[in-house]
Amino acid sequence: MFRQGDYIMYSNYGACFIDDIVEKTIENETKLFYIMRPINEDKTRIMTPINNKKVKMREIMPLEEAENIFNVIMNGNVNLITDRKQREKAYTKILKEGDPFEIAEIILTLLLEKNEKSKAGKNISITDKKYLEQAEKLLYSELSVCLDIEMDQVKEKVLDMLLENEAR
């Protein structure tokens, strides 16, 4: 069980701060609930049972793991799945499971694809843009908590690393 004041990763919202743990009775059943707020959505509040098995909740990654994430971005595999349906299925699964290393690979792949298309005067597909935005929200929110920096600074660091990597 997490405690009030903890930061956790919560499903599709990314890093969240647990404001409170309260007891509520809903439909004659009393349960404990986390009251959380996503770090990147000030006005959003989430209330979920502490034992909710329908969503992923986990601790924020340790600092060493965050450093390894940046290694993935610098030296990671670019694995663009060319078949659109297979790519959507794979990306949906990765984002749902929430593994930060796999999410970093999505970001790396789609940012490089975006850069290549941009050079040709084109844009990535709307679907790929949606997956990139979701992956960035999840990973950058977690890294910002872990490294105690703003999400914009995380994104800037990632983009700088890609530019540096491209210059090699």
Write the CATH number for 159. Answer: 1.20.58.1290
Domain that holds residue 123: 63-167
**42 and 85 assigned to the same domain:** no
Quote the pLDDT of residue 79.
75
Quote the pLDDT of residue 76.
65
**70 and 30 assigned to the same domain:** no
Is 158 buried (19+), middle (13-18) or exposed (0-12) by CB count in 10 A?
buried
**pLDDT tens by residue, 133-166:** 999 999 999 999 999 999 999 999 999 988 877 7
pLDDT band of 11, cuts 50, 70, 90: confident
**pLDDT tens by residue, 110-127:** 999 999 999 999 999 999
**129 and 75 assigned to the same domain:** yes
Read off the pTM: 0.91
**30 and 110 assigned to the same domain:** no
Does the pLDDT value for residue 77 go beyond 70? no
CA–CA gap between residue 65 and residue 146 (Å, rounded):
9
**145 and 102 assigned to the same domain:** yes
Residue at which a domain ends, from 39, 59, 79: 59
Buried/exposed 71-103: b ≥16 CB within 10 Å, e otherwise = ebbeebeeeeeeeeeebeebbeebbeebebebb
**85 and 11 assigned to the same domain:** no
**23 and 74 assigned to the same domain:** no
Helix ranges (DSSP H) in the chain: 63-75, 84-97, 100-119, 126-147, 151-167
Residue at which a domain ends, from 26, 42, 59: 59
**pLDDT tens by residue, 13-70:** 999 999 999 999 989 999 999 999 999 898 999 999 999 999 999 999 999 999 999 9
- CATH classification at residue 14: 2.40.10
**51 and 94 assigned to the same domain:** no
**117 and 105 assigned to the same domain:** yes
